[in-house]
Chain A
């Protein structure tokens, strides 16, 4: 029997981050937090209230925030900087590159509101290139958890992990389907949610849930499609990916990110090196987003379970 993942209640992944940050603050005095005037949106309020000495409001000045975090890390603290994904990456790329990554500083970048699903704010705020930006930086670790519980666990794990971490999560409530404590979540290891003989969907972030729905629907059609959660995009579990590439007749990737430089490219990179395969991508197709409700945006830009099913079908046709 394949496991059945059910929605235990919709929750925003950013709240998983906020809960973990508070826990971390309680147990480790080295944890400090910095916000660029988005304390409540990024769910850092509880930490700020509980540990005012270890919280730094930076104002709408992200470049300085990154540098201050690098300085705090120099003296042995573990800073979490929190803002929206576009302000956490594109706006401060050079600061992350030089003051954090090249300098080897143990700073955790907590990026909320990633992807299209932040919704009504529109394309200025819908960051879809961040995985690519962060992936190019030597020494950067990229975590992209799939629900509330996993975002909490990823935050806790990021604090333990030595070196810079980019932690990507989102704004809207989404299904919670992984357990609160989950030994199968480990940085750098693929998480196999559903086994399958006929193919595999590699998914990350919010689209993991959609991939599960796609797999269940395909099961009704007699197809057994695995769902592998790629919550760690860097360092990628190369061995694990190769194993799935070798044994899966069809291969699909699914991400709430541009089709360039994200999960699709990461899997293709491994494929071209070890196991050349046809890969279908579900991703935003080289376009900016727009205002709308999260579900409307996923529908319009081709990121729903139905789109993943179509991608599996295209991959099957290609195989024939």
Chain B
């Protein structure tokens, strides 16, 4: 897919995110905006998957898990725009009787979601389990797991890091949404995880650095590079240096946009920066 088209989709997804969070008057806009470009790249250009016939087992296709489930507004928008479920359903985000739960869930049967996430640190382990399942069933497809960088505080992430390297889970690509922000502030102030790339290397992972995490050519070439290292005995991780709140100037790099909706005035300012490139939901 052409870069211009991917950019148009990403712009619309950002607009979707702001509209969803504003309409629900709750949600997590900052991380969602920051991860939008990577999610669009994965779903519209990189992964092998079948939106029209979603299979809960994920066999015979690539699988994606959003371990940092709170940024699901962007994931839902990408899934809807990719055809996993009707676009109009985005208006039910975080409302009663909705499949679009505040954090991703399987109970309501939303196509695209294979495990509930939200309580942090768990999605990576589940992704590893799916990768092992694929290996046992000789399924050549890959598992992608996005994790947040605040999420790296969780001990379970490092249990999973040890396990994946030890068991040579090499059909797995982890993407860290490295925006250096978490709820209470800068990650370096709250609980420092630097030097991050060295940590993962020391744990036995093949590390790829994505410095331009909002450039489609850079995202796609890094993902492709990672994929070319699959099935070589090591788990793979892309450290994506994203900008929290990307696309809305007053949200960019401001940790206070982790989990609050915009006011009326802020909404007007935000949406003015995000013109519709596709049809609104």
Contact = CB atoms under 8 A, between A and B. Distances in A.
Looking at chain A's contact residues, the main secondary structure is helix
A64 B163 contact: yes
A63 B159 contact: yes
Contacts of B139: 75
Interface centre among B119, B131, B133, B134, by most chain A C-beta atoms within 10 angstroms, is B133
Interface string A51-67: 00110101101011111
B116 A102 contact: yes
Nearest to B118: A98
Contact of B159 (A61, A73, A103): A61
A266 B124 CA distance: 36
B242 interface: no
A246 interface: no
A95 B129 contact: no
B133 A77 contact: yes
B263 interface: no
B121 interface: yes
Interface stretch (B1-9, B51-59, B179-187): B51-59
Contact of A74 (B130, B162, B166): B130
Given A75-B137, A102-B116, A103-B115, A70 B163 contact: no
Given A74-B58, A102-B116, A103-B115, A67 B126 contact: yes
Interface string B77-88: 000000000000
Contacts of B137: 75-76
Contacts of A75: 57-59, 129-130, 133-134, 136-137, 139
Contacts, number: 118
Interface in A19-55: 32, 53-54
B153 interface: no
Contacts of A61: 159, 162-163
Nearest to B137: A75
Given A56-B167, A59-B163, A63-B156, A71 B119 contact: no
Nearest to B115: A103
B129 A104 contact: no
19 contacts: A61-B163, A63-B122, A63-B125, A63-B159, A64-B160, A65-B125, A67-B160, A68-B129, A68-B132, A71-B126, A71-B129, A72-B133, A74-B114, A95-B122, A95-B125, A98-B116, A98-B118, A102-B106, A104-B107
Given A63-B125, A67-B156, A103-B107, 4 more contacts: A64-B125, A67-B124, A68-B126, A102-B106
Interface of B: 56-59, 105-107, 114-119, 121-134, 136-137, 139, 155-156, 159-160, 162-163, 166-167
Which 9 residue pairs spanning A and B have beta carbons closest together? A71-B129, A67-B125, A75-B133, A61-B159, A64-B159, A68-B129, A71-B130, A63-B156, A71-B126
